[in-house]
Amino acid sequence: MKLGHRPIDRTSDDLDIIFSKLKDIKAFEKFHPLLIQQLCYYSYFENLEKGVTLFRTGDLGANWFAILSGNVDVCVPSENGKGHTLICSLEAGAAFGESILYDTPRNATIITSSSVMLLRVEQKDFKILWERNKQYLHGVITSLSQLTNTLDPKRRASEFDPSLIPQVATNKLLKDDPTRNPALPIVPNTSVRIQHAAYVLRTCILSKAPQMIRDRKYHLKIHRSCLVASEMVDWLIHQSPIVHSRSQAVDMWQALLEEGAIAHVSQEHYFKDKYLFYRFSGDEDRTLIRPSNVEQNQCEQQLADVILTLAQVGPDAMLRMILRKPRHQRTIDDLEIIYDQLLHVKALSHLSSLVKRELAGVLIFEAHPFKGKVLFTQGDQGKFWYIILKGSVQCIVYGKGIVETFHQGDDFGKLSLVNNSPRIATIVLNEDNTHFLRVDKDDFNRILRDVEANTVKLREFGKDVLLLEKVPINVKTAHGTYQVCYKDVLLRALRYSSTLNEFNK
């Protein structure tokens, strides 16, 4: 495994290989994908025989451990001072040793009770890992202080107790924010295309399977004129060979939900292939009437075109749904879908694959329905970096007016984050229904600030033609010591061989 390389020597390809292997290990099922990504950066692989002592009671620790396979015994000194008393055994998936956060003595002795494969993270790296991933480490770390305190209540709790970390709570404000709650529509009014698609589907269901839409009772509450999600998926699959899987059908229904053409009965869930209730917009307040023969024939003729349309817009709707999920709820599959999309984003083309994977975990979706909205004003403190998913914006500078227009795939707003300075322009939305990917300042500084600060772009006619990156190298001096210098690495040349010739002179 590439974990044998020192972290500083691991390439982006190495890190991708490590991530793909770690996420498939059963012991790491309860580890959040973002935590696994960070472990790819910092951990070393250890393969130990039975009977190896990792550390002893009272030692000042230097490492944190996570078990890949095998078992270790947790022991404390016996009361008579001879030998050890076994407290318990830890198996694959357990993580321990967080006393290194506070430079406090170990509470127990850890001895391998079988051949063991584990990950080891050094103290300086674990402190970084902890600061970045506190919420994901909760529930993963085994507190040795808790284990040993059950044996001796007087024992000093020198290891940090992860149960003190507050659980990640869902903020009520986020529930009401459509860009952060995928169960809500992202537009104030349903588009004509989606409204027509919902009408055709509803009419066909009422004519072919009217029993699907009816009042249902659940937990002593009556929900009027609703459908069961799993039945909606079954029905759609049987209407056309274009719909080749349940997941594709889910994407298509989500396209209706994100524009408010259908909704969960209590607006608590995005579309899920489960026993959940959804209804077409307006059905709660109207009496269901069987469509006329003319309506049935018209809608049946249009059904194939509607299904084709929804099959085309479904994947984008699913991506937006994932991006609106709270970050800690994104699954490994979700992160892969976001990552695949980022491979095609122009503004990120110069970044390594691992940086893109980290961004997949922190990107936030932001949508604005109407043109003319001011996103931020010249002189404001920078809080976010933006990438345009859909639409365009105008860049306005005091005294100069509109100096540039940014379109889909362009990014803006990172200069004030890199320099920690006020915004140098005002950004105004140029189109209705503009969508962004957004990275907040803390995540930008953690993932991208050094990359962007050391990147030089040469532009001609408003386009990047040459991209250089400063990277550190160790240079041996005459005294035999090493110092860090920098060299320019050609990342990307986009246009004009003459530009390259000038670079090579």
Give tens-digit pLDDT for 15-45: 778 887 787 777 677 777 778 887 887 888 8
The mean pLDDT of 146-154, rounded to a whole number, is: 47
| Top-confidence residue, 60 or 449 | 60
Let me know: does 434 contact 390? Beta carbons within 8 Å.
Answer: yes
The DSSP call for residue 6 is: -
The DSSP call for residue 9 is: G
| Top-confidence residue, 358 or 7 | 358
Instruction: Using the predicted structure, report yes or no on whether residue 490 has a pLDDT greater than 90.
Output: no
Cα 31 to Cα 50: distance, rounded to the nearest angstrom: 26
Q: What are phi and psi of 343, to 5 degrees?
A: -60, -20
| Top-confidence residue, 435 or 327 | 435
| Top-confidence residue, 217 or 481 | 217
State the pTM of this model.
0.64
Residue 212 pLDDT: 96
Return the structure tokens found at 223: 């929900």
The mean pLDDT of 53-64, rounded to a whole number, is: 90
CATH 2.60.120.10 is the classification of domain 2-164: yes
Instruction: Using the predicted structure, report yes or no on whether residue 12 has a pLDDT greater than 90.
Output: no
Name the fold adopted by 330-451: Jelly Rolls (2.60.120)
Out of 67-81, 171-185, 305-319, 340-354, which region has the weakest mean confidence (pLDDT)? 171-185
Instruction: Using the predicted structure, report yes or no on whether residue 152 has a pLDDT greater than 50.
Output: no
Cα 105 to Cα 204: distance, rounded to the nearest angstrom: 70
Question: Chain centroid to CA 484: how far?
Answer: 34
Cα 411 to Cα 462: distance, rounded to the nearest angstrom: 13
Which CATH number is 175-326's, of 1.50.10.10, 1.10.10.10, 3.30.43.10, 2.70.50.30? 1.10.10.10
pLDDT averaged over the chain? Answer: 81
Instruction: Using the predicted structure, report yes or no on whether residue 176 has a pLDDT greater than 90.
Output: no
State how far the alpha carbon of 225 is from the alpha carbons of 216, 255, 266, in Å. 8, 20, 13
Out of 148-157, 290-299, 304-313, 343-352, which region has the weakest mean confidence (pLDDT)? 148-157
| Top-confidence residue, 161 or 19 | 19
Strands 463-476 and 482-493: antiparallel
What 481-488 contacts at long range (C-beta under 8 Å, 24+ apart), as own/partner pairs, is: 486/454, 488/456
Cα 386 to Cα 365: distance, rounded to the nearest angstrom: 10
Alpha helices in 25-103 (DSSP H): 33-42
The mean pLDDT of 254-272, rounded to a whole number, is: 95
| Top-confidence residue, 104 or 336 | 336
The domain limits of the chain are 2-164, 175-326, 330-451, 454-505
Instruction: Using the predicted structure, report yes or no on whether residue 210 has a pLDDT greater than 60.
Output: yes
Alpha helices in 150-237 (DSSP H): 172-175, 192-208, 229-237
Cα 387 to Cα 409: distance, rounded to the nearest angstrom: 6
Residue 228 pLDDT: 96
Instruction: Using the predicted structure, report yes or no on whether residue 375 has a pLDDT greater than 90.
Output: yes
Burial class (CB in 10 A: 0-12, 13-18, 19+), 15: buried
State how far the alpha carbon of 41 is from the alpha carbons of 35, 435, 472, in Å. 10, 32, 18
- Domains 2-164 and 330-451 fall in the same CATH topology: yes
How many Å from the N-terminal Cα to the C-terminal Cα in the chain? 42
Residue 341 pLDDT: 92
Residue 6 pLDDT: 64
Enclosing H/E stretch for 101:
none
Residue 503 pLDDT: 35
Cα 501 to Cα 505: distance, rounded to the nearest angstrom: 6
Give pLDDT tens digits for 343-372.
Answer: 999 889 888 888 898 899 999 999 998 989
Cα 358 to Cα 31: distance, rounded to the nearest angstrom: 16
Instruction: Give every CB contact of residue 77 below 8 A, 6+ residues apart in sequence.
Output: 57, 83, 84, 85, 109
pLDDT bin (cut points 50, 70, 90) of residue 2 is: low
pLDDT bin (cut points 50, 70, 90) of residue 143 is: low
